[in-house]
Homo-oligomer: A and B are copies of this chain.
Amino acid sequence: MYNYKKLNKQNILKEGENMIKVGIVGATGYVGEELIRILLHHPEVKISFATSKSYAGQSMDLIYGHFREKCSLICMKDDWESLSEEADVIFLALPHGIASHKITDSLLQKTKMIDLGADYRLKDQKTYEDWYQTVHGSPHLLQKGVYGLCEWYREDIQQSSLIANPGCYTTCSILSLAPLVKENLIKPETIIIDAKSGVTGAGRSLNLANHFTECNESLKAYKVAAHRHTPEIEEQLSKIGHTSICLTFTPHLVPMNRGIFVTAYASIKNGVTEKQIRQAYKTYYDKETFIRLLPEGVYPETRWVKGSNYCDISLTLDKRTGRVIVLGTLDNLVKGAAGQAVQNMNLLFDFPETMGLEATPIFPI
């Protein structure tokens, strides 16, 4: 296997020689193909294989026309043991409930795993099994899996071989609220997250709700007070804030392709000033490349982050009611999935954290 720690970049002679090898399991969903798009341009990476249950044997550029002349990988079937031999890191872009039955200690000794699904995000087996209504296949690995929210767990990630890449709603929600709970500025029982998502968040599987003429030109809420990202947000904010947090989370479906938008509400504690609030965000995010704190009075819009790994955040203090309103937005397929997974990979392999993720957002698109 490749010893990336000893890589001497200045001695690279032939393209690809010292690149790490990556595999993608579940490559033909939107998250999988977005991973490919990003990794194709990552200078330290070579894609070894891509697997697909539904498209095994087919070429990526026939499945996705934008890959023509860019990526003609043939999708393979999953063969976990042998695949792990062929990659330094494997990205798993699978529905929940599969990864936990496949990942083993022995696999983790051969290769690193970045799971973009839900199986290792929640640390409590029962919480997982209650919310996902399925049995967890490897509960002993729950603690081993590091929650891959790079801005908050950078050091833990670097030490790990199993990363639980956060969900799209979750990333946006936690990044938006974490400084407030960390600095103890809000009443934790007052948090409400009203979240909005573009339709790619629902994936590529066919169902009537995402048929063009059923969701175009319409808005709806769904899984009200019952969405599975709720306990994930609660667990992480509780951990960051050293307090038990129970909150209301309401997701909505917006007729657009990409984008997560979070409108988070919380009542500030007595005596807390707007200045303290703004300072908390500066403390944690001022040096973060992928978080852009917006100036007062400027609000995020999903269009400004499309195709990029940015999370844009703004703060408003509603003085009439004593609430802080935090607006956060990100591209659900990038910072909310594939981009953050590559950011995690960069941390795991000691590459510059932003490598392969520097693209300027693209607008209007």
Contact between chains at A68 and B246 (CB < 8 Å): no
A69 surroundings in chain B (CB, below 8 A): 289, 292
Task: Report if A233 contacts B (CB, 8 A).
Answer: no
| Supplied contacts A220-B299, A248-B323, A362-B362, 8 more A-B pairs, CB within 8 Å | A189-B321, A192-B265, A206-B208, A218-B256, A219-B301, A224-B327, A225-B323, A250-B325
Contact between chains at B215 and A363 (CB < 8 Å): no
Given contacts A212-B212, A218-B259, A292-B69, is CB(A362)–CB(B200) below 8 Å? no
Contact between chains at B225 and A41 (CB < 8 Å): no
Q: Which of A16-24, A158-166, A304-312 contacts B (4 or more CB under 8 A)?
A: A304-312
Query: CB-defined interface of A219-248 with B at 8 Å, one 1/0 digit per residue?
Result: 111101100000000000000000000111
Number of A residues with CB within 8 Å of any CB on chain B:
86
Q: Which of A59-67, A148-156, A344-352 contacts B (4 or more CB under 8 A)?
A: A59-67
Which of B40, B303, B305 meets A360, CB within 8 Å?
Answer: B40
Say how many copies of this protein the assembly contains.
4
Task: Report if A135 contacts B (CB, 8 A).
Answer: no
Contact between chains at B224 and A257 (CB < 8 Å): no
Task: Report if A7 contacts B (CB, 8 A).
Answer: no
A352 CB to nearest B CB, Å: 15
Give chain A interface residues in 176-232, CB to chain B under 8 Å: 189, 192, 194, 196, 198-200, 204, 206-208, 210-222, 224-225
Given contacts A247-B321, A255-B256, is CB(A196)–CB(B211) below 8 Å? no
Given contacts A66-B306, A211-B211, A364-B216, is CB(A248)–CB(B224) below 8 Å? no
